[in-house]
Amino acid sequence: MGFEAYELATTLWGINRSITGDGVRQTLNILKDIIPKLRIIEVPTGTKAYDWVVPREWNVSQAYILNPEGERICDLSENNLHLMGYSIPINAKMPLSELQNHLFSRPDFPDAIPYVTSYYEENWGFCLSENQRKNLADGIYEVVIESSLSDGSMTYGEIILPGYSEQEIFLSTYICHPSMANNELSGPCVLAKIVEWLSTLTDSKYTYRIIFIPETIGAIYYISQYLDIMKNKMVAGFNVTCIGDERDYSYVSTRTGNTIVDEITNHVFSKISKTHTKYDWLKRGSDERQYCAPGVDLPVATICRSKFHEFPEYHTSLDTLGDVVTPKGLSGGLELLKRCIEATTLISYPSASVLCEPQLSKRNLYPTISKGAKPQSTQMIKNILSLSDGKTSTLEMAVRLNCPIWDLRNSLDTLLEYNLIRIDI
Amino acid sequence: MGFEAYELATTLWGINRSITGDGVRQTLNILKDIIPKLRIIEVPTGTKAYDWVVPREWNVSQAYILNPEGERICDLSENNLHLMGYSIPINAKMPLSELQNHLFSRPDFPDAIPYVTSYYEENWGFCLSENQRKNLADGIYEVVIESSLSDGSMTYGEIILPGYSEQEIFLSTYICHPSMANNELSGPCVLAKIVEWLSTLTDSKYTYRIIFIPETIGAIYYISQYLDIMKNKMVAGFNVTCIGDERDYSYVSTRTGNTIVDEITNHVFSKISKTHTKYDWLKRGSDERQYCAPGVDLPVATICRSKFHEFPEYHTSLDTLGDVVTPKGLSGGLELLKRCIEATTLISYPSASVLCEPQLSKRNLYPTISKGAKPQSTQMIKNILSLSDGKTSTLEMAVRLNCPIWDLRNSLDTLLEYNLIRIDI
Amino acid sequence: MGFEAYELATTLWGINRSITGDGVRQTLNILKDIIPKLRIIEVPTGTKAYDWVVPREWNVSQAYILNPEGERICDLSENNLHLMGYSIPINAKMPLSELQNHLFSRPDFPDAIPYVTSYYEENWGFCLSENQRKNLADGIYEVVIESSLSDGSMTYGEIILPGYSEQEIFLSTYICHPSMANNELSGPCVLAKIVEWLSTLTDSKYTYRIIFIPETIGAIYYISQYLDIMKNKMVAGFNVTCIGDERDYSYVSTRTGNTIVDEITNHVFSKISKTHTKYDWLKRGSDERQYCAPGVDLPVATICRSKFHEFPEYHTSLDTLGDVVTPKGLSGGLELLKRCIEATTLISYPSASVLCEPQLSKRNLYPTISKGAKPQSTQMIKNILSLSDGKTSTLEMAVRLNCPIWDLRNSLDTLLEYNLIRIDI
C-alpha cells in the first residue's frame, strides 16, 4: 500500500492548505473519493472551543512580489510556502529595507524556503531562501497579496467505523499544512489507506473513530465537542504524523507515560525495530499536546518515523516527496500503524478455566511420551496458560515472554477453542 | 545429617518407582521407619482431580528383550530405566526395524540410558544407550513385558507437625522416579531428615504440612483436596528437588515473583552463596507449576542445587549416587532448607514499645560513657529498634542491614525480654 | 552572612556547655540578643519524657589534676574538653595507675583531646591528648573537680514565627557541646542568622517553629510535649548541624526515605552540588533519631556539610574555628538551608484553569509568528502548564524539567497572574 499512499500524496501535493479555507475542503474531498463514508464538517468562524475561538476563514487567489526590475518573485503559484500563512491582503510599494521586516528565511538552511504562519495576529509576509534573499537588489518593491480573511468556517473530516464493541480506537492526523511531504502529507495519506483497510474488515472488535483535522485548533474543537464520549470509550489512540520517510521510527509518550497506549507503543516499537526513539512528553509538539493535556488525559501517543523538529527538512521546502517521503517509507509507516492497531485489538486478560495445569495430552496439545524438551508451540500454550490469572494482560505476557504480542494470537485461539481460557470483554 | 540422607538414598535406590504402584508404597514404608507419624494415603484409580483423573495402577514383574542370539538385553532387573514407565504388557517377536519404533536413546549422551514415560497413552518401550542401540544386529527380537495396568490406587505420604500457631509452613517433594539420584532421591531423603529434625523441636511456632507425592498428578490431587486450607494457613512453602549434588544452589520464583516466599528465597540464597541462580517462573518444571498456577496461587518456591533440566545427567542413568549426589551435596541441601525454614519462622513485624529512642543505658544495653563507636550488638539493637514501626518485617530489616535474618535473632530476643518491642502474631 | 555567623561562633566559643547548666543558659542569652523573640524555657529535673527523665543540673566551677610535681594539668579553664561531661565532684589523691582508669585519649589522633561524657551514670574523668598521657610520670596525682549535680532544670530556646498558614516548617539545632566548632557551634550560629533573616520577611506563607535544644534529651522532651501539633502541622523539618566547614554537603534521609523532606533534600542537594553525599537512615546519629523514630515519624532530615562521625576532627579539640569552621564554610551552610526552606515554600500542586492548551499568544505570552524554536521562558510556561494536573507538585516538575525548583518561580507567578493555573493551599 506504500505506492498507493505515495500516489495519493502526489495528488494532494500542490494544494494550498491552511487551518481554514478551500485548500482544506479540496483535500478532504479528494480523501472522500477513497473513503466514501468520510463526513466533512464545517465549524463556523467565531465558534468557541475552551480558551480558543475558530478564526476567520483564509483564502488566497494570488500573491507575489515585483522586484525593482518588475520581475515576479516569491510567487505563491510557484511554491505555496512563499506566502506566510494567514497573510492579510496588501498591495503596496516599499523600499527593500521596509520589505525586509516581512521576509523570512533560514540562514542555517540557505537553500530552503521556510514555513511560517501568523494565525492569531494580523500580519503579512513572504518566505524565501536565504540565498535568494541575499541577492535582492536595493530599490522599490511592489507587494501583492490578494487574500481574504472573512467569516466562514473551519473544515474537518470524521469517519466512525462501528465494531461489535462500543469501545473505540482513535486515530487522528492533520490536514492544515501546504506543500510539505513528511509533515504533513504522510499523515493523512497513511491514515486514508488504513481507513480503507479497516473498512474491509467484517468482524472488527472495536469501533474506530478517525479524524482529519487542522492541527491545534481542530484538535481543541474536537475535544471540546466529544471529550466525554472519548473519555468513556477510548481504549487507545494514535496521532499519526511525519510517518513517510525512511528513517527510524519514533513516538511521543503521553504526559504520564503510564497509560495503555504507552505500554502498546513501548512494546510494538521495540518489536518492530531496535533503533527506534522514544520521546518524553517534554518533546511533544503535535496534537498529543491537546489529547494528553491535564484534565483531557486521553491515552493517545503520537507515532512517527522522523519526528517533527527532529529532521533537518522539517517545516521547509526541502520536505519533499521523493527526497524525504518515499513509497518505501510510507509502507513502513503503514506497517507500524497496523501493528499498533493489531496490538491494541489483541490485548485481553485471559483466565484459565481449570485450576492447576489442564491435561493437555488428552486434547492432543502435548506429546504423550515424556522424554525431554517440548515443541515451541506447546511451550507457548503452557506459558500463556500459566499466566492466565485474569489480571495479566496478553501484552504483559508478550513482554514477559519476550516476543511480539501478535505471536500469541494462534495459541490464544487454540486455548479459546478448547475452552481452556476465558476472556471477558 | 548429609551421611544419613545419603544412606537413606542408598536404601531407596533400586526400587522401581512410578506415579503409582508398589514401588511408591515400598518407598513410603521405608520412610515411615524414620518418620513414624507418616500417614500413607491411597487414592483410588478414577478419582477426579480438577482436569485430571487418577490413572490405573502400574506394576511390573519383569521386562526384557531377547536379541536374535537369545541374549537378554534391556533387562529391567539390571536397570529400571530400561523400561519406559507405564509400558503395557506385551510378549511379541518382531524384526529390529519394527522394534526401533519402541526404543529410546540419547545421541547427545551416547552412554546414558534416558528416562522416558507414557503415563496417559497406552504404549510400550525400552530405553538404552545410544552406543548399545547402534550395535543391535538385524534379526528377530522377542519383547517381554510382564506388567499390569489395573484399577488400584495412587499412593502418597503426609505428615502434619502441629505448632502453637495454626499457620503452616508447607514442604513438598516427589517419589515417583525410578533409580535416579538428584532427580529425585535427593528430595525425599533431604526432606525425611528435615522431618526427623522438626519432630524433635518442642516449641515450634508454625505447624508443618509435609507431603511425599507423585509429581504433577499427586500435587494436583492434593491441591484439589486441601486448597482452601492451604490458602488460609500457608505462610510459605518449599518444593524440594534436585538438592543433593555439589553444584550451586538455585531456585524457581513463584509466578508473580513478589510473594513472601520470593522474599525469603531471595534473601536466604543471597546470604548462603553469592553464586546461586534465580530462575524465573518461565523456567518452572516441577510441582511449583501446580502450587503457583492461576487461582491456586500458593506462596511456594522450588529450591534446588542444580535445577532439573539444567544439569547434564538430568533424567538419565548418569544421575547416580556417588557421581552426582554425595553426602556433602546432601548436607548443603539440608543446610539450605533449614535456613529457608528458619528465615520463615523469624519473620515478624516488631513495634517499638516507647516513642523516641528508649534509654538503653539504664538497662545496661548501652555503654554509659559516650566516647565514639559503639559495639556491634548495640548497633544491631539500636537499628532494629529504629526500624520497629510495626510495618517493617524482620526480613526487610535484614535486607536493609545487609545481614542474614538469623543474625537478628539474639537482638530480637533481648528487645522482647526488655519489653522494648512488641510482636503481634 | 557567613562572617556574622562566624563572629557569633567566636562569642560562644569558650562557654562550657552541657545538656544542662549555666553554659546552656549563657549561650541562649547571647542568642536572644540577636533574636529578641527567643523564648527560654526551663524544664525541671525529674520531668518525665517518654522513657527518659530530665537529669540533675550539672555545673562546674573548676577542675584540674595536680601532677607529682604539683603542676596543674588537664585544667578545665584551659580547655573545657579536659573534663568529662557530667563528672561528679571529687578531691582525691591516687597513684597514676589508678588515675589511668579515669583518663581518656585517642591513640589514633595523638594530638587531640577527645570529647567524652557520662550523662546517665555517676562517674568522673579527664580527657587529654595521647601524647600528653604517654608523658605522665609515675607518682601520686591529686584530682580536683568542683562540680555540682543537683535538682535544677534543663534549658532550651524556642521561637515561633507565624505565617499566613498554620502549617509549619520546623528547624532544630542543639546547644549542648563545649568548645567544638563544626559539631556544634556551626548549627546554632547558622540557625540564628536564618531566624534573623526569616524575621524580616513580611509575607511568609508558612509558620516557622525553631528550637535550640540539648541533643537527645532535649529533642525527646520537645517531642513529648508537641508531637500532636508537629504531626498535624509540619510540612517539613530540618535538623541543622556540622554545617560550617568547607567540605561537601551531605544529609541524612528519614527512616523511610520517602517523605516530602526526602524529596526536597534530594532535589536541593543535587542542584546545589554534584558531589554531595546522601546518607541512609542507618548512618543517623543526631536528633533525626528522635524526629523520625517509629511512631514519631516527622518529616525531618538532618542537613550538614561534613556529617558527624565522618570528619576526622569530630568530637575532639581539633574541631576548631579557623581550621575546620570558616566564614566561607558557614556562608555555604546558610545558602544551603535557605535553599531548603525556599524549596519547601515553593512546593504546590498547580491545576490548569482551562482544558487543552490555553491560547498564550492572545496574552502576549507566545510569539505570534510561528517560525520554529520558542524562547526559553515560553517553553517553561508551556511545560508547567502541560504538567499542571493538580496531582504533580512543582517539585516533581522541577525534577522532570531538570532544573532547580527556584527556576520555576517566575513562570508560576506569571501563570497565576493570568489565571492560567490555580493553586489550592
Residue B45, domain CATH: 3.40.630.10
8 A C-beta contact, residue A153 and residue A44 = yes
Residues pairing with B154 in the sheet = B43
Query: How far is Cα of residue B92 from the mean position of the Cα atoms in its chain?
Result: 40
Task: Name the burial class of residue C205, with classes exposed (0-12), middle (13-18) and buried (19+) by CB atoms within 10 angstroms of its CB.
Answer: middle
Give me the residue from B359, B368, B387 closest to C118, CB to CB.
B368
A142 and A175: one domain? Answer: no
Count CA within 13 A, CB hemisphere, residue B359: 18
Residues pairing with B147 in the sheet = B60
Q: What is the pLDDT of residues C230-279, one digit of tens each?
A: 999 999 999 999 999 999 999 999 999 999 999 999 999 999 999 999 99
Mutation choice for A interface testing from B87, B102, B109, B282 by most A CBs within 10 A: B282
CA angle, C365 then C369 then C371, to 5°: 110
A100 and A164: one domain? Answer: no
Asked if the Cβ–Cβ distance from C356 to A224 is below 8 Å, we say yes
Asked if the Cβ–Cβ distance from B356 to C119 is below 8 Å, we say no
C258 and C280: one domain? Answer: yes
Cβ neighbours of B371 in C, within 8 Å: 104, 114-116
Q: What is the DSSP string of A305-348?
A: SS-TTSSTTTTBTT--BTTTB-HHHHHHHHHHHHHHHHHHHH--
Cβ neighbours of B358 in C, within 8 Å: 50-51
**A224 touching chain C per CB within 8 A:** yes
Q: Which of residues 45-74 of C touch B (CB under 8 A)?
A: 49-52
Mean pLDDT of C84-99: 97
**C297 touching chain B per CB within 8 A:** yes
C285 and C371: one domain? Answer: no
pTM value is: 0.92
B177 and B325: one domain? Answer: yes
Outline where C60-162 has alpha helix (H): 96-99, 130-134
Q: What is the pLDDT of residues A411-422, one digit of tens each?
A: 999 999 999 999
| CA–CA distance, A342 with A330 (Å, rounded to integer) | 18
| CA–CA distance, A124 with C46 (Å, rounded to integer) | 85
Phi, psi of A164 (to 5 degrees): -80, -10
Q: What is the pLDDT of residues A380-412, one digit of tens each?
A: 999 999 999 999 999 999 999 999 999 999 999
Q: Which three cell numbers stand for residue A340?
A: 499498533
Enclosing domain of residue B391: 351-422
Mean pLDDT of B196-211: 94
Confidence (pLDDT) at A381: 96
Cβ neighbours of A351 in B, within 8 Å: 294
Residue of C nearest to A222 (CA): C356
Q: Answer with the one of A150, A165, A180 that is the final residue of a domain.
A: A150
Hey, is C338 helix, strand or coil?
Answer: helix
Is the pLDDT score of C1 beyond 90? no
Q: Answer with the one of B346, B381, B407 that is the final residue of a domain.
A: B346
Count CA within 13 A, CB hemisphere, residue B254: 25
8 A C-beta contact, residue C6 and residue C326 = yes
Is the pLDDT score of A317 beyond 90? yes
B201 and B326: one domain? Answer: yes
| CA–CA distance, B49 with B47 (Å, rounded to integer) | 7
Confidence (pLDDT) at B372: 66
CA dihedral A390, A395, A396, A400 (to 10 degrees): 130
Phi, psi of C282 (to 5 degrees): -65, -15
Number of domains forming the structure of chain C: 3
Angle, helix B394-401 to helix B260-272, in steps of 10 degrees: 40
If we measure between CA atoms, which residue out of A299, A246, A309, A259 comes closest to residue A279? A309
Cβ neighbours of B351 in C, within 8 Å: 294
Neighbours of B48 (CB within 10 A): 10
Give the C-alpha distances (Å, rounded to integers) separating B122 from A368, B55, B65, B114, C247: 9, 11, 19, 19, 80
Give me the residue from A51, A119, A281 closest to C354, CB to CB.
A51
Mutation choice for C interface testing from B353, B361, B369 by most C CBs within 10 A: B369
Q: Which of residues 178-217 of C touch B (CB under 8 A)?
A: 216
Q: Which of residues 238-267 of A touch C (CB under 8 A)?
A: 255
Confidence (pLDDT) at B377: 82
B228 and B269: one domain? Answer: yes
Mutation choice for B interface testing from C88, C177, C282 by most B CBs within 10 A: C282
Our CA-based measurement puts residue C52 at a distance from the nearest CA of chain B, in whole angstroms, of 6
Residue of B nearest to A400 (CA): B282
Asked if the Cβ–Cβ distance from C386 to A52 is below 8 Å, we say no
CA angle, C343 then C346 then C352, to 5°: 140
Neighbours of A381 (CB within 10 A): 24
Asked if the Cβ–Cβ distance from C119 to B370 is below 8 Å, we say yes
8 A C-beta contact, residue B22 and residue B59 = yes
C215 and C247: one domain? Answer: yes
Asked if the Cβ–Cβ distance from B369 to C84 is below 8 Å, we say yes
**A355 touching chain B per CB within 8 A:** yes
**A312 touching chain B per CB within 8 A:** no
Q: What is the pLDDT of residues A22-76, one digit of tens each?
A: 999 999 999 999 999 999 999 999 999 999 999 999 999 999 999 999 999 999 9
CATH of the domain at C77: 3.50.30.90
Beta strands at A39-44 and B72-73: parallel, antiparallel or unpaired: unpaired
| CA–CA distance, A84 with A45 (Å, rounded to integer) | 21
Mutation choice for A interface testing from C349, C354, C355, C403 by most A CBs within 10 A: C355
**B354 touching chain C per CB within 8 A:** yes
Number of CB pairs < 8 Å for A and B? 77
**B160 touching chain C per CB within 8 A:** no
Residues pairing with B40 in the sheet = B157
Phi, psi of B354 (to 5 degrees): -120, 155
| CA–CA distance, B14 with B405 (Å, rounded to integer) | 40
Q: Which three cell numbers stand for residue C335?
A: 545558602
Helices (H) and strands (E) in chain B, counts: 12, 18
Query: How far is Cα of residue A41 from the mean position of the Cα atoms in its chain?
Result: 19
If we measure between CA atoms, which residue out of A375, A353, A355, A373 comes closest to residue A364? A375
Give the C-alpha distances (Å, rounded to integers) separating A262 from A219, A298, A306, C101: 20, 11, 18, 70
8 A C-beta contact, residue C14 and residue C181 = no
CB burial of A49-60 (b: ≥16 within 10 Å; e: otherwise) equals bbbbbbbbbbbb
Is the pLDDT score of C373 beyond 80? no
8 A C-beta contact, residue C330 and residue C10 = no
Mutation choice for C interface testing from B351, B355, B385, B402 by most C CBs within 10 A: B355
8 A C-beta contact, residue B345 and residue B391 = no
Element of type H or E holding B381: helix B376-387
Give the C-alpha distances (Å, rounded to integers) separating C31 from A59, A68, C4, C11, C40: 76, 81, 13, 10, 10
| CA–CA distance, C338 with C329 (Å, rounded to integer) | 14
Asked if the Cβ–Cβ distance from C368 to A118 is below 8 Å, we say yes
Mean pLDDT of B288-309: 97
Asked if the Cβ–Cβ distance from A386 to B293 is below 8 Å, we say yes
Q: Which three cell numbers stand for residue A364?
A: 492432543
Segment among A117-131, B73-87, B259-273, B374-388 with least mean pLDDT:
B374-388
Q: What is the pLDDT of residues C302-323, one digit of tens each?
A: 999 999 999 999 999 999 999 9
Question: Could you tell me where the beta strands, DSSP code E, fall in B163-265?
Answer: 168-174, 207-213, 234-240, 250-252
Q: Which three cell numbers stand for residue A67?
A: 522586484
Asked if the Cβ–Cβ distance from C369 to A125 is below 8 Å, we say yes
Question: Could you tell me where the beta strands, DSSP code E, fall in B152-281?
Answer: 153-161, 168-174, 207-213, 234-240, 250-252, 277-279
8 A C-beta contact, residue C169 and residue C123 = no
Count CA within 13 A, CB hemisphere, residue C412: 20
**C361 touching chain A per CB within 8 A:** yes
Confidence (pLDDT) at B373: 62
Our CA-based measurement puts residue B261 at a distance from the nearest CA of chain C, in whole angstroms, of 23
C247 and C333: one domain? Answer: yes
Mean pLDDT of C223-234: 98
**B225 touching chain A per CB within 8 A:** no
Asked if the Cβ–Cβ distance from B362 to C294 is below 8 Å, we say no
B26 and B159: one domain? Answer: yes
Is the pLDDT score of A374 beyond 70? no
**A358 touching chain B per CB within 8 A:** yes
Query: Which subunits sit against A, judged by 3+ Cβ pairs under 8 A?
Result: B, C
**C109 touching chain B per CB within 8 A:** no
Task: Name the burial class of residue C211, with classes exposed (0-12), middle (13-18) and buried (19+) by CB atoms within 10 angstroms of its CB.
Answer: buried
Q: What is the pLDDT of residues A215-262, one digit of tens each?
A: 999 999 999 999 999 999 999 999 999 999 999 999 999 999 999 999
**C414 touching chain B per CB within 8 A:** no
C198 and C286: one domain? Answer: yes
Residue keyed to cell 503426609? B158
Q: Which three cell numbers stand for residue C213?
A: 535544644
Q: What share of chain C is helix, strand, coil (3-state, %, to 5)?
A: 35, 25, 40
Mean pLDDT of A171-186: 97
pLDDT band at B288 (very low <50, low <70, confident <90, very high): very high
**C419 touching chain A per CB within 8 A:** no
Mean pLDDT of B316-337: 97
Cβ neighbours of C223 in B, within 8 Å: 355-356
Give me the residue from A351, A359, A390 closest to B51, CB to CB.
A359
B122 and B166: one domain? Answer: no
| CA–CA distance, C292 with B383 (Å, rounded to integer) | 13
Phi, psi of A161 (to 5 degrees): -110, 110
Asked if the Cβ–Cβ distance from A119 to C370 is below 8 Å, we say yes
Residue of A nearest to C421 (CA): A294
Q: Answer with the one of A150, A173, A202 that is the final residue of a domain.
A: A150
Give me the residue from C51, C224, C294 closest to B359, CB to CB.
C51
Give the C-alpha distances (Å, rounded to integers) separating C116 from A244, B48, B327, B342, C127: 76, 76, 56, 42, 7
Asked if the Cβ–Cβ distance from A372 to B315 is below 8 Å, we say yes
Hey, is C335 helix, strand or coil?
Answer: helix
Q: Which three cell numbers stand for residue B391?
A: 510495618
Q: Which of residues 381-410 of A touch B (CB under 8 A)?
A: 383, 385-390, 400-401
Q: Which three cell numbers stand for residue B260?
A: 513472601
